[in-house]
Chains A and B, each alone.
Chain A
Amino acid sequence: MQGDHPESEAPGEAGSDDARKDYGQGFSWNEDDAGSLEDVVEAAFDYRGDVTILPRDGESLVGYLANRSIAGAAGGESWIEVFPSAGGPSRRIPLKSIRGLSFSGKDVASGKSWETWLEKYAERKEALTRGEEVENIDLFPEELD
């Protein structure tokens, strides 16, 4: 299991437990690594970016993991549902057909927390009080490709 965080902010800062700190952009898991695919899938479900799925057969799939079902002791099939980034309908993939999964896409939630905004807002307000020139800090949605 490896955790590589290309962005300056470390993932998992929002109060999640230590065990989940490595699940961030750049994280990847292969079946030879420690940990279970089920745990990685749970983290991927919370991840706000695309993931890359490596199947046992066929080509890898890049997309947003929007849903999952992990079968319990009662049995049934575990699966994930992915919206491919290339377009087309969502695809349901059985966990047993997956050999690896990586958090390959940009974490679009990164750096957009309420706390970050609060800090910027307070700094700007203080600067205004001191009579300093301030930059506009309005937030706008990112352009869609």
Chain B
Amino acid sequence: MWAVASHVLKNKLTRKKRYPLVLMLEPLFRCNLACAGCGKIQYPGHILKQELTPEQCFSAVDECGAPIVSIPGGEPLMHSNIETIVEGLVARKKYVYLCTNAIVLKEKIDLFRPTKYLTFSVHMDGLEEEHDFAVCREGVYEDALEAIKLALDRGFRVTTNTTLFEGAEPGRVREFFDEMTELGVEGMMVSPGYSYSKAPDQGSFLHRDRTRGLFRRILSAPRKGWRFNQSPLFLEFLMGNEGRDYHCTPWGNPTYNLFGWQKPCYLLQEGYAETFDELMEATDWEQYGHERNDKCRDCMVHSGYEATAVDQTFGSLRGFLATVRATFLGYRWTEDREDEGSSGEAGGAGIVELPAVERTQVATCGSVRTETKA
């Protein structure tokens, strides 16, 4: 937390308007899963075989300067030099989140040494049935569970990373949080999936409201012991706290991969810049955000909004006190019409049906499902 706080304060003091918090470093696109619709893995074989070298990774990290480096992919544990990359980043005192589906974590774990700078962020989209369904393969949940236990036994920091989609059942999600808490993970991350349609059906654009409703039902009465590895203000944003009507901070989580610096953000692929400076200076940031761009309209994903929440926390005394209050006294949200008549209790039974709009791009596993063109 101190690393993030000092980074934010330093940028505030130098009046820097846009600065990164988390570098999304994708050293390869290859994966050992084949999740339907995943845009990160749908490339020709010669692209999937390519990897960023450790030196390319280090120079991207140095260029960007973010205190946290998240390594998604693809599956980063399939990178032939992943241990060298992690070692180099740890030597730079970067906080590394190695985002993995954990299928091969058991066989690769000896490549790593526990340190406060390294966290395995394991992709878990819910309990066994939900997770195996989301990753399109049976048995993955069990493999991940075993790997988490092993990593914890070995003294590694372990968190989970969950993306919630249409049809998520609040009660089942709460059960999942209980299970992960019991397992002993250090923290959990949760984010709504992201979908947008290139041919927007205006009648379907209830997504943000539905997302807020879902998160209110899940988080309004958090169980003792649940620990989220993310900003409590971001969670309040997901629950629809009126004071958290955040604007997206797409530059907060810049993405670097084989093609360069992805424009404008982790979710949209509108081109690539050669350098980090070019990304920051040449991108027309005003074009993006849920108020201005159809592609962004329903997005409430952490890669866009968590940086906004963190900026609020460390950008003002009021933000800091709100964070302290949310951490120790629980989350606050604003009731809306959708909640009228409902019990308002968390963990309510039944499915929260999100509207059945075209699911062309969905964030998952700290990654994305991009348009698959059927």
Q: Which residues of A contact B (CB under 8 A)?
A: 9-17, 24, 45-46, 48-50, 63-64, 66-69, 81, 83, 85, 87, 105-118, 121, 136-142, 144-145
Contact = CB atoms under 8 A, between A and B. Distances in A.
B137 A140 contact: yes
B45 interface: yes
Given A64-B46, A108-B42, A116 B136 contact: no
A109 B198 CA distance: 17
Interface in B191-249: 197-199
B272 A67 contact: yes
A139 B136 contact: yes
Given A141-B34, A144-B49, A109 B271 contact: no
Q: Interface majority SS on B: helix, strand, loop or mixed?
A: loop
Contact of A109 (B30, B35, B373): B373
Nearest to B357: A15
Contacts of B260: 67
B185 interface: no
Given A16-B199, A64-B47, A112 B137 contact: no
B369 interface: yes
B138 interface: yes
Interface of B: 30-37, 39, 41-50, 133, 136-138, 197-199, 258-260, 271-272, 358-360, 362, 369, 371-374
A13 B37 CA distance: 13
A114 B165 CA distance: 12
B36 A139 contact: yes
B363 to A, nearest CB: 13
A69 B42 CA distance: 22
A140 B39 CA distance: 15
Contact of B362 (A9, A14, A114): A114
16 contacts: A11-B374, A14-B360, A15-B197, A66-B272, A68-B271, A83-B46, A85-B44, A108-B42, A112-B37, A114-B369, A114-B372, A116-B374, A117-B136, A138-B138, A141-B33, A144-B48
A97 B346 CA distance: 62
A48 B136 CA distance: 21
A141 B199 contact: no
A68 B270 CA distance: 9
